[in-house]
Amino acid sequence: MTDFSEKASDLALRVSGELVGSDCLISGMSTLDKAGAGQLSFLSNAKYQKQLPDTQAEVVLVSAEFVDLVPNSAIVVANPYLAFAKLSQLFDWRGPLVAGIAPTATVDPSAEIDPSAQIAEGAIVGAQVKVAAHAYVGPNVVIGEGVLVGESTRLEANVTLYPGVSIGKRCIIHSGAVIGADGFGFAHDGQGWVKIAQAGGVILGDDVEVGANTTIDRGALSDTLIANGVKLDNQIQIAHNVEIGESTAIAGCTAIAGSTRIGSHCTIAGMSGVTGHLEIADRTHITAMTLVSKSIKESGAYSSGTGVEPHAQWKRNVVRFKQLDELSQRVKNLEKLVKKLAE
């Protein structure tokens, strides 16, 4: 963990906030109910305001309406959650880079490694690879031929980048992620499947984060494209030739089928599925466990599926669901009968 510490007054300046109360040294962060001496916390959801009077946090990030409930010091900001996000980076567990190439790393002579980059133990760096300034290549990372790794990008342990991948600046690729594996492309000859060679690559923009064990397939002919600021959670499947627009965020266990284009500033909640060759409009928000089977042309919130209910009630509703077609036909017949009687 980091040993960073800073005065509350300086933290307030970082987020354009106002310190209310005494100044003190802050060396960590925690939740309202678990924070203690020397720690910073925050209130961003009003339903947790009941925790404020009893919190042991040294300083709390709050909006102006809740400042009088804080027992110790407060930093008043317009958006406490955003301020928390910014300050959390000061307490990140990742330590400073140790520039250089570890003795147990294998680096092809043709690779270009910036002197300020770190190549950790057991990493394999292929031919014609370029690793930019202040980049981190973690233990046992495998980087294929011709890959570009941007400035200040982090590849955590056991990441695999296939040939033909380009990673932008300030990206974070978490452990176990695989970028650039073959897309799922096959043609049927009547008896079996003939593989379609996947000749495209994968391009990630700047400030992209890819979660643990997430997979992004290379394009069949053109590239799979992940734009600037995209955030991908753990265990997501991005198929070949998918394009994801700027600042879109996708939660865990979601799958995006091939050649679908997702707009910018979208959110897709966990365990959702998007079928192939679709267009998703900018600023579309898809709730958890939604199946998207047709293009979405207008921004807004979209859902599918059913919510949780008691098991006995669910079983009854399943039976009713199976009867919907029959019930619909009966209603139509009754409507015809009523109309005939009214004549």
Instruction: Tell me, yes or no, whether 229 and 271 share the same domain.
Output: yes
Instruction: Tell me, yes or no, whether 120 and 257 share the same domain.
Output: yes
d(CA 234, CA 210): 7
pLDDT at 305: 80
At which of 41, 74, 91 does a domain end?
A: 91
Instruction: Tell me, yes or no, whether 294 and 317 share the same domain.
Output: no
User: Which residues constitute the domain of residue 46?
Assistant: 6-91
Structural domain contains residue 1 = no
Amino acid, single-letter form, for residue 193: W
pLDDT at 2: 64
Instruction: Tell me, yes or no, whether 231 and 322 share the same domain.
Output: no
Instruction: Tell me, yes or no, whether 71 and 182 share the same domain.
Output: no
Helices (H), 205-342: 311-322, 324-342
Q: Answer for the pair 33, 53: CB distance below 8 angstroms, yes or no.
A: no
Instruction: Tell me, yes or no, whether 71 and 134 share the same domain.
Output: no
Instruction: Tell me, yes or no, whether 123 and 263 share the same domain.
Output: yes
Catalytic-residue membership of 277: no
Backbone torsions φ then ψ of 243, nearest 5 degrees:
-125, 125
Strand 39-42 with 28-29, pairing: parallel
Q: Note the pLDDT tens digit of each residue in 43-83.
A: 999 999 999 999 999 999 999 999 999 999 999 999 999 99
Cα dihedral: 250, 237, 178, 285 (round 10): -10
Instruction: Tell me, yes or no, whether 188 and 262 share the same domain.
Output: yes
Q: CB neighbours of 109 closer than 8 A, spacing ≥ 6?
A: none
At which of 66, 91, 116 does a domain end?
A: 91
Structural domain contains residue 230 = yes
Instruction: Tell me, yes or no, whether 298 and 321 share the same domain.
Output: no
Amino acid, single-letter form, for residue 141: V
Q: CB neighbours of 151 closer than 8 A, spacing ≥ 6?
A: 132, 133, 134, 135, 169, 170
pLDDT at 94: 87
The active-site residue, picked from 134, 188, 240, 285, is: 240
Instruction: Tell me, yes or no, whether 267 and 329 share the same domain.
Output: no
Q: Which portions of the chain are predicted below pLDDT 50?
A: none
d(CA 114, CA 135): 8
State the CATH number of the domain containing residue 20.
3.40.1390.10
Structural domain contains residue 307 = no
Stated pTM of the model: 0.90
66 three-state secondary structure: helix
Element (DSSP H or E) covering residue 76 = strand 73-76
Q: Answer for the pair 215, 237: CB distance below 8 angstroms, yes or no.
A: yes
State the CATH number of the domain containing residue 112.
2.160.10.10
Number of structural domains the chain divides into: 3
Tracing tokens 């089928």 back to the chain, one arrives at 257
